[in-house]
Structure 1
């Protein structure tokens, strides 16, 4: 499992960012490997949003981002500057479950590199709406 985290700082309208994000979310929700996503806004800096998407693996994320229909879609970078990261899980836990760092959650370096800066240069595709589980 990997997480795509994109810090978005508005350069345009919040409404337009949320509209584009919803369209990207619709696309990504149809992609194999997306587990969930959430778009949150900072309570101390309303011009800052975070897109957090959980993917089965970096390869699934890479496949989704390299699809032609994604490449040709609207981009959040039209209204926000992004700071994009593909992240691996270091600790995982929650109420009633022990903190763990399972070895099977590690992302092979070659997959992380393939979903790295070159893929992340493009803004998030229309697919970050309400969280979904696959």
Structure 2
């Protein structure tokens, strides 16, 4: 009886976990995608000097968070096989490229719309925080 109950709990755990369980590497990659999207969203709010400065503050914090996640991912990546890395690249590269294009487009838009060099420098410095 106890054996059957334990088996049922184990099976239920697998059924619940399998579709939503992600490796630590996948979790870190998802977090990085979220940070990148948050940066793109912050850039979309920039309309003038004041909003550029506000976005720069937000982006600086996000960039620091992204750097921490990146360091964590690099450590986790050491334990990955070539096949696992390839799968991660296939899964996440398109997302990274898409958000990268959003960020690039927003930076170009901001460069033409915001005429304040100091505000643009703050944005650039904030973006550079992500290493």
* TM-score normalised over the length of structure 2: 0.28
More strand per residue: 1
* TM-score normalised over the length of structure 1: 0.28
> Which of these two proteins has the greater Rg computed from alpha carbons?
2
